[in-house]
Amino acid sequence: MQSELFNPSPFLEQVNTTFKFIDLFAGVGGFRMALQNLGGSCVFSSEWNKHAQTTYEKNYGELPDGDITLDETKIKIPQSFDILCGGFPCQAFSIAGYQKGFQETRGTLFFDIADIAKKHQPRVIFLENVKNLLTHDKGNTFQVIKNSLKELGYEVYFEVLNSMTHANVPQNRERIFIVAFNKVLVPNHAEFQFPEAIPLTKTIHDFLETEKVDQKYYYQPDHMYYPILKESMTSRDTLYQWRRVYVRENKSNVCPTLTANMGAGGHNVPLLVDDFGIRKLTPKECFAFQGYPVDKMVFPEKMANGALYMQAGNSVTMPLIQRIGKQILEVLSS
């Protein structure tokens, strides 16, 4: 076995694992970290974004495979595993027919999930997506997804949960979580319950840097927006967002929803006031607001901040995935 000196990846899995999972649309590994924390072994990972692949490899010691839509990628998936997981991108579905099942997902990335599930029959499919998936195309898109999974022999459970109410992470982030159990392999699936809400005891100050950060994150007095920022940003106990022509305060004193386009062109990154001025969140702080143990994480050197902001915005809130994962394992082990 290599020593830590030669294998510095901070999140290597435990030796004695109790279940196997695959990590699709892996991003920077939020599902992987959560399920490894619960005793899982990741037997396959896939992520097409090169920057995210690099961050993933730095932290888990494994470079994810690329495009999951390709047969040459799918063929690398081991035959047997317990949980298929992933935060899949929501592409628009074209609802052309009437059955709204497996065949009508073709051309979307969800079809690749369904295709893999059909071949490998994992005990559980565990997915995350934006809240709007529920109402997209008047609910037809989500109906296709549910019907497709049912066609493949799965019972579907879903719920919209918020990081600030269900993970003790002060970010206002609503996401839909889908947990589908193989009815033959998990006959007691009806015992499954999503985790209950828990008190939010942490504040933004538990996630922010206490020292002065790099000067590049601070707005200078000669910046064109500085006067309106200084006038509008009066509290140090909440975060703000610049909305083209005005400043929006997050009244609930939590971080606003982190987004994938955060940092693109310098926009949409939440703002705050600290002892040294008015500034943006750093990429490290954005990962902290997704529940990652950032003091252990490795952030690739020389990677553009824009790429790191995108990775944080695209990620899942890791502790919430872990709480749902714990509920799944209670069913599988009972």
Which of the residues are catalytic?
90
Q: How many CA atoms lie within 13 A of 1 on its CB side?
A: 5
Sheet with 174-182, strands from edge to edge, namely: 40-45, 19-24, 83-86, 124-130, 174-182, 154-162
Q: How far apart are CA 49 and CA 95, in angstroms?
A: 28
How far is the C-alpha of 141 from the C-alpha of 105, rounded, in Å?
Answer: 9
Q: Which of 42, 58, 40 is nearest to 50 (CA)?
A: 58
Cα(140)–Cα(128) distance, integer angstroms: 18
Neighbours of 250 (CB within 10 A): 19
